[in-house]
Structure 1
Amino acid sequence: MELPDPAPAHLIDPAAPDAEDVDAYRLLAADIASGVAVVAARHRRRDVAATVTGFLDVSYDPPTMLVSLFEEGRICDAVESSGAWTLSVLRREQEGAANWLASPGNPVEGLLDGVAFRRAPHSGAPVLDGALAWFELSTVAVHPAATHRIVVGEVTAMGRGIDEAQADDPLVHYARGYRGLTR
């Protein structure tokens, strides 16, 4: 039995979305729960990092991941220019770092002064201490997508930032805010 839609569909012209379309999309897309991570790179002898929620594993053979980066952000330029980057998947306790690195207008110098990190073995890019998991990646493709770039990377190193027994409370982005998983 086909049920009636609870609300009428919001139709969009993809070639020319208006402000109402964008607002409706943002509201509905906020219902997609996603993990929270920090992408980081070494660029021009500086550490550059930003919080992301648009990332995923692509393949296990070879281990490959992708991340979506705002094309006008410093992190996008750093990742594209350096060719190597890290992805640190955050725990609930790392919400402060997630908020700090998601803030627009962060300083270029001293960005990670208040964030504990170590260096990835190949690129020297920052890996956040205490992360659920971390991956060092080498860029293999970059694809433009609207206002973003989809960066695909093959994993060159990986590990945990904590003991596996403690890896039970990821930081999750849902409904425009951060949450943890409760059991």
Structure 2
Amino acid sequence: MSRLAAGVVLVTAYDPDPGLDGEDVGMTATAFLSVSLDPPLAMVSVRNGSRMDELLTEREEWAASVLSESQRHIAGRFAMKGRISDRLLFDDIPYTRGAVTGCALVGGALATVECRTEQRVVAGDHTLVIGRVLSAAQPSSDGSPLVYFRGRYRTLG
């Protein structure tokens, strides 16, 4: 499967529990796709038992930001194993809050979607989270997509 090129997104959700202020949670994903246009559905695959998996069992709202090639550092940061707290990972990343879900949307992303989970399908060591797209935007029309191929982030061309 390493020979299948995939786009790279940052999936985000908001966890209201940590501390009084809550916390944004993020996860780099390469298994993200459009499922249906009518109704508009998108899907992300999350590793079972991960923080994002646990959060999305409690929270229905989540978002995805399609990363550009200039945002490789964001993808790498949120893909690290044994990483620091998510609060620190978001510190120097420009983002806005989605108007519908309140989830973090990466500034300069090629596209963003806000979703509400409609279905969860356990598939081996991952869960496919299918969400209804509540809003979609193109914050930046400049740049090329960040792509994951043969175990590395790459650019088109």
| TM-score, normalized by the shorter chain, greater than 0.5 | yes
CA distance in 2 between partners of 1:51 and 1:131 (Å): 13
- Alignment partner, residue 71 of structure 1: 48
CA distance in 2 between partners of 1:160 and 1:74 (Å): 28
CA distance in 1 between partners of 2:88 and 2:110 (Å): 24
Q: Which runs of 4+ in 1 moved over 3 A?
A: none
Identity of aligned residues (%): 32
CA distance in 2 between partners of 1:130 and 1:78 (Å): 26
- Greater length-normalized contact order (CA 8 Å, ≥ 6 residues apart): 2
CA distance in 2 between partners of 1:80 and 1:138 (Å): 12
SS in 1 for 2:89: coil
Deviations 1:132-181 (A, max 9, x none): 1000000000111111110000001110121x3x1x41000001001111
RMSD between superposed Cα atoms in Å: 1.0
- Alignment partner, residue 153 of structure 2: 178
How far apart are 1:111 and its partner, in Å?
2.6
Q: Is contact 1:43-1:81 (8 Å) kept?
A: no
Q: Is contact 1:89-1:134 (8 Å) kept?
A: yes
CA distance in 1 between partners of 2:68 and 2:127 (Å): 25
Higher strand share: 2
- Alignment partner, residue 155 of structure 1: 133
Q: Which runs of 5+ in 2 are unaligned?
A: 17-21
How far apart are 1:77 and its partner, in Å?
1.5
Deviations 1:58-113 (A, max 9, x none): 00011100000001211111222110000101100000000001001222332311
Q: Is contact 1:47-1:111 (8 Å) kept?
A: no
Confirm whether residue 41 of structure 1 aligns to residue 22 of structure 2.
no
Q: Which runs of 5+ in 1 are unaligned?
A: 1-28
- Alignment partner, residue 110 of structure 1: 88
CA distance in 2 between partners of 1:34 and 1:125 (Å): 23
Aligned length: 151
Confirm whether residue 123 of structure 1 aligns to residue 101 of structure 2.
yes
CA distance in 2 between partners of 1:58 and 1:68 (Å): 12
